Structure 1
Amino acid sequence: MTGDAAPRRPALPERTLASRLIVVARAQAAEDYDRVLDELIEAGIRSIELTLTTPRTFDRLPVLLERYGAVADLGIGTVTSTDDLARAIDAGAHYVVTPITSPTLVKKAADAGMPIVPGGLTPTELFSSWSGGASAVKIFPAGQVGPGYVADLRGPFPDIMVVPSGGVDLDGARAWLNAGAVAVSVGGPLLGDAFRGGDLASLRRRAEAFVAVCARAEP
């Protein structure tokens, strides 16, 4: 009697894996993306999650892919329905992220060859997504557990690939990557007030600091 076949598992995009840093861009309006993404790309950011909580993100995505897609991975985040997933696939997103544990979304994404990073916190939630074919699993909210959680998960699930999200600051990024996270997902601690008219030079300095830490962190 043979065991279950291994699930299809689309790999995360190479630039995301190489940079080990996903920046979560949650803007007030899709038209606000460009000025911030310009600075992020110039600072060396190579993976950006555009969230569906920003109105008209899907409408803006073709323009952003044309402008930045040759140098950075653009994912769609806050995907919570099969309709959202289908639109992300059709629009050419490089990956999708969801804050929830949904076997249906994971299977549909994997079957379509779309890298997906679903959220969860408990071992049951995270393993459910991983065993279903997730490209990696998002520990959310990461601040509730801490970097030591990677070792805890790797005990029963030695191959699981994790991406912490939620309150990950510069020191946290270093700690999570050193603990074995495949990447970190960062929002407010890097973006600050950039989407509210904040100083773009300060944004670039913060982004450069995160890029440097993620490049230097030892797995």
Structure 2
Amino acid sequence: MSAAWLALLKQHRSIAVIRALELAVGIEMANATAAGGMRLIEITWNSDRPHHLIQQIQNDLPDCVIGAGTLRSTDEVQQAIEAGAQFLFSPHTDFSMIEAAVRREIPIVAGALTPTEIMRASQAGAACVKVFPIQAVGGASYIRSLQEPLGEIPLIPTGGVTIDNAAEFIRAGAIAVGLAGQLFPKQAIETGDWSIVEARSKQLVENLRSV
């Protein structure tokens, strides 16, 4: 399970994080980023009807891998799995949540920040560790500084990753990066100009292709 997930991350290197206040908007966001070439899409659990959103996007975009994020309890982990989520993200480390995901053989990425937190999340069974918020602790240089002591733990920085600096994080040692607002600017969402999202997604994919 983890090996297949890690292979996907190494292949695609980026995850589009969708937080949608309306289900229909979430579908458009997913379609646009997929049109730009992204294949890993996370639906945050504080989106409008996230279980329906996951199922609809899976039907619409069979070439994409759809997961759930911003999961904060074991109940939400179970709900996301029942909805068909193929991977899970949490902003924190909760051992019971990790155990629930591992038991169902769904890769879970637990949130952590310090070396101690990162190690504990990994030892508990997290498939990867989400280093969040990365901007607050030095960006790519922080990921680079973790490589010598913790280089065997796959890290996914979020919270400060941009289209322009995404490749720097991969070069620093991250296995992949997660982007939300950078892909989905407020103006594009409000006006429904999905060409902006598609173009940003395409640029991100292109920037990461050479890494």
Q: Tell me the TM-score normalised to structure 2 length.
A: 0.92
Task: In structure 2, give the amino acid aligned to 1:25.
Answer: I
1:197 aligns with 2:191: yes
Q: Per-residue deviation at 1:152?
A: 2.3
Q: Per-residue deviation at 1:60?
A: 2.8
Aligned pair partner of 2:173 in 167, 171, 180: 180
1:58 aligns with 2:51: yes
Task: In structure 2, give the amino acid aligned to 1:58.
Answer: H
Contact 2:34 2:198 in 1 (8 A): no
Matched residue, 1:142: 134
Q: Give the ranges of 4+ consecutive aligned residues of structure 1 lying more than 6 Å apart after TM superposition.
A: none
Secondary structure in 1 matching 2:47: coil
Matched residue, 2:10: 17
Matched residue, 1:115: 107
Aligned pair partner of 1:48 in 41, 59, 65: 41
Q: Per-residue deviation at 1:160?
A: 0.8
Give the number of the structure whose alpha-carbon radius of gyration is greater: 1
Aligned pair partner of 1:67 in 24, 42, 60: 60
What stretches of structure 1 of length at least 5 have no aligned partner?
1-7
Aligned length: 209
Matched residue, 1:4: none
Secondary structure in 2 matching 1:61: helix
Q: Tell me the TM-score normalised to structure 1 length.
A: 0.89
Matched residue, 2:71: 79
CA distance in 2, matches of 1:198, 1:170: 20
Task: In structure 2, give the amino acid aligned to 1:215.
Answer: R
Q: Percent identity?
A: 31
CA distance in 1, matches of 2:190, 2:116: 38
User: What do residues 107-142 of structure 1 show as CA deviations (whole Å, max 9, x unaligned)?
Assistant: 221122110111111111111111111111011001
Counterparts in 2 of 1:44 and 1:72: CA distance versus 1, 3 Å:
same
Matched residue, 1:206: 200
User: What do residues 49-95 of structure 1 show as CA deviations (whole Å, max 9, x unaligned)?
Assistant: 10111121113322221111x21111101111111111111221110
1:133 aligns with 2:125: yes
CA distance in 1, matches of 2:114, 2:3: 23
